[in-house]
A and B are shown apart, each in its own frame.
Chain A
């Protein structure tokens, strides 16, 4: 995905979107695919029906606070979310997202993006082009050692590559 921007629509949420909204506790026994269908339903009942692969979730500060449950990030990935864009993230969610190959982009001015805006997002360059508004927003770059992992497709793919290296050595 180096240098390749993806295009999709923005789905906009407020501050403090927590992991119970992203992956409700009482449904955690469901398969990942079924659980994903309940993502954010408590505040946006139509979200899972409207989101298309490649669309983006844009939110306010402290996205993903709460539980360590990785299903919060898994659900977004399974729904095909191309990236989550927010001014700040909860630490465990941020790590989980990158570990799963879901770019999480720190963008100070995420609040400039409006529901339905067409965005072109380059997670590697940390650049968001808001086609609807003719604006460019910059994100904090993802640290190198993490970008290598995101490029590999997440931590498990990365572990696999490392294991293969070990085997050859």
Chain B
């Protein structure tokens, strides 16, 4: 009798976000709009958002970390110290990591989002809470990775728990294949314009043959810039490529991890299909990633600086793209090309495979691995009235230096081609010129 009066459970297909949140909250299934309490698997923070903000409160609360083995601290925003304030922040971070026995501490090894996959710390299915807005980067590995502010992170590292609102999902389906000198960055600049940046409390899920064909480096660009769309996460279901990458970086992954897939009958708020074969290089003009258009509209805008950096745009593959364009070339007179590889491992790999010599021969200046000018904190800041083209993910007013500086966003191909031309340039035109000259 009692059984019969129970409401019938209606099982409908679940998105990847729903499945991952059901796991993290210990429930069979969840629906968009549910508020769920999450058990966090991995908590990451950096020198700007982490220990310096937590320590006074931890001391006052007399609290310690819930599980130091699940905490990752990366010093990347203020590295290397350029003044006594940044030196003090880095010192505090080091001392904290030691005193609290932080399981994974990386000091000046690179940008946090590049470090997590490089150290094999990600695995499909897990919930990653990160004290940085680009934490969705890790969603390329099929984990639910969301960004949180410092106080939220304090709560997380003390209790191991947080809450979230189960999001509706926007599915982005990629078909076709990239033309020459077009890349994942161009997809994201297009999406910023198409979907806008106001998708708070939503999940972005990427899939389709275009994604399957991508390397992990390209997939990470899609996930990283889900943050620009305002999304909570940028999810890509794991496949062989994912597992191979994890294993190659010393991480743990099993065949069972491939089960983290969205159901074929999952309900999406919206499905957007992009044919990569039709995609042109895109550029975002100041002061918003959503202020984007095909590159032809901005070609010829003179630049003072070209910046290859950030979690999204300075992986080894990004340096390869730039080198393809810069090989045997020289940057334009009066233009500076700054390269800040995403990690010291990337610098070492680029040195070993010859990429670095191509960039340096073209006139590039090598900067330390870290957030640098992307965060407006390190080397490479802009003066009032200067124009920069950058592989970073955001070009908000004042982000990379003076509030009267102008920043354009493009792919590593586009930034490299622009450095040679001295103005915003279409990398395809550049390639055609070279072919003609040969």
Residues of A within 8 A of B (CB): 16, 18-21, 24-26, 28-29, 41-43, 61-62, 65-70, 73, 88-96, 99-100, 143, 145, 154-156, 159-160, 163
Contact = CB atoms under 8 A, between A and B. Distances in A.
Contacts of A143: 35
B48 A70 contact: no
Interface in B150-197: 150-152, 154-155, 158-159, 163, 197
Given A20-B397, A28-B48, A145-B35, A99 B200 contact: no
B230 A28 contact: no
Given A24-B376, A66-B394, A29 B86 contact: yes
A69 B376 contact: no
A32 B337 CA distance: 34
Contact of A62 (B60, B89, B197, B403): B197
Contacts of B397: 18, 20-21, 42-43
Contacts of B119: none
B403 A42 contact: yes
Contact of A68 (B86, B147, B154, B158): B147
B376 A25 contact: yes
A36 B330 CA distance: 44
Contacts of B151: 70, 96, 99-100, 154-156
Contacts of A88: 198, 200
A148 B154 CA distance: 18
Contacts of B230: 62, 65, 90-91
Contacts, number: 125
A30 to B, nearest CB: 8
A143 B34 CA distance: 11
B200 A94 contact: yes
A163 B57 CA distance: 13
Nearest to B151: A99
B61 A91 contact: no
25 contacts: A20-B394, A20-B396, A26-B381, A26-B401, A28-B48, A29-B78, A42-B403, A62-B197, A66-B396, A67-B132, A69-B49, A70-B150, A88-B200, A90-B200, A95-B148, A95-B149, A95-B152, A96-B151, A143-B35, A145-B163, A155-B152, A155-B155, A156-B151, A159-B154, A160-B61
B133 A155 contact: no
Given A24-B398, A62-B197, A159 B155 contact: yes
B152 A99 contact: yes
A19 B394 CA distance: 11
Interface size class of B (residues with CB under 8 A): 35 or more
Given A42-B397, A88-B198, 14 more contacts: A26-B377, A26-B381, A29-B377, A67-B133, A90-B230, A91-B230, A92-B133, A92-B147, A92-B149, A95-B152, A96-B151, A99-B149, A156-B57, A159-B155
Contacts of B83: 29
B399 interface: yes
A85 to B, nearest CB: 16
Contact of A163 (B61, B149, B398, B401): B61
Given A90-B200, A91-B201, A25 B399 contact: yes
B375 interface: yes
A159 B62 CA distance: 11
Residue among A19, A61, A90, A154 with most chain B CB within 10 A: A90
Contacts of A92: 133, 147-149
B76 interface: no
Contact of B149 (A61, A96, A159): A96
* Residue with the greatest number of chain B CB neighbours at <10 A, chosen from A88, A93, A95: A95
Nearest to B88: A29
Contacts of B433: none
A42 B398 contact: yes
A92 B376 CA distance: 20
Among A21, A25, A73, chain B packs the most CB atoms within 10 A around the CB of A25
A160 B197 CA distance: 35
A25 B396 CA distance: 11
A28 B155 CA distance: 22
Nearest to B62: A163
A61 B35 CA distance: 23
B259 interface: no
B53 interface: yes
A56 to B, nearest CB: 21
Contacts of B131: 68
A92 B154 CA distance: 14
B3 interface: no
Interface string B370-393: 000001110001000000000000
Nearest to A88: B198
Contact of B85 (A29, A66, A69, A154): A29
Given A67-B133, A92-B149, A99-B151, A20 B200 contact: no
